[in-house]
Amino acid sequence: MEIRHIVFRLFMAIVIGGAIGYERKFNNRPAGFRTHILVCVGATIVSMIQVTSMNEMIQQMNVNRELVAVFKGDVGRMGAQVISGVGFLGAGTIIHERGSVKGLTTAASLWVVACIGLAVGWGYYYLSLLAALSVVITLVSLKKFENKFIEKFNVFKVRIDCLNENGMEEELEKYFAENNIKIKNIEYLIEEEEIEAHSSSIYTILVPRNVKMVNVLKEISTSECNISTV
């Protein structure tokens, strides 16, 4: 492979990986600008190694036809290892926060960047550029569409510590129902030295986007209960 092809493909991998990684970094995601570049460049290197190896194999078989029966090559083997290996990176970007799983989009973007890197290394330039454009549009433009038309709730965890419950649970359920707040989960906490008539619980709730969480905390707080987000 000529040096100009190597330089161009590596440069293209840096640009594509950086463009996608910048969007992730801008949104404070676990894997950002440099991570996406490294994944894309690494996948490109693997593809170029495989392309070079296959070309050298073909040249040797053209020189010595007896090698045709000896050489065996699997075109997709190295690429498959890259795609499966990126799964470990993707798993590291997935975190659990406030009752919800975050990082799936970043994990998916890492996987896609690796696939695009393989395409760059093989020399599929139009495919790589169009794929990169599709990813950027998905991450930027469709995110705004999702926030406006699809995602209607924010997930919060609220801890409630009451000295005297006095039907607090029923009052909360009534308030949540009136304000279209959905209860996703309730955890009842048991302290090592439990105080009599003292109760602690953590509510995982889905709050509509048009409702401010600060107002919710003010309205459900009482003199006997300490309410805070987790």
pLDDT per residue, tens digit, the chain (230 aa), is 788 888 898 998 888 888 888 877 776 666 677 878 888 888 888 888 888 887 777 787 788 777 666 666 666 677 777 877 777 777 777 765 544 556 777 788 888 888 888 889 888 889 889 988 888 888 877 766 666 665 567 778 888 877 766 667 777 788 888 888 888 778 877 655 554 555 778 888 888 877 777 888 877 776 567 777 77
Tokens of 25: 């970094």
User: Which domains, ranges and CATH numbers included, belong to the chain?
Assistant: 3-149 (no CATH), 153-229 (3.30.70.260)
In the numeric block, which tokens belong to residue 143? 């995110």
Compute the distance between CA of residue 59 and CA of residue 55 in angstroms, rounded to an integer: 6
Closest CA to 39 of 82, 3, 75: 82
- The helix (H) or strand (E) run that includes residue 187 is strand 182-189
3-state secondary structure of 210: coil
- Identify residue 56 by its one-letter amino acid code: E
pTM of the predicted structure, to 2 decimals? 0.58
Q: Based on the number of CB atoms within 10 Å of its own CB, is 110 exposed (0-12), middle (13-18) or buried (19 or more)?
A: buried
Structure confidence at residue 195 (pLDDT): 47
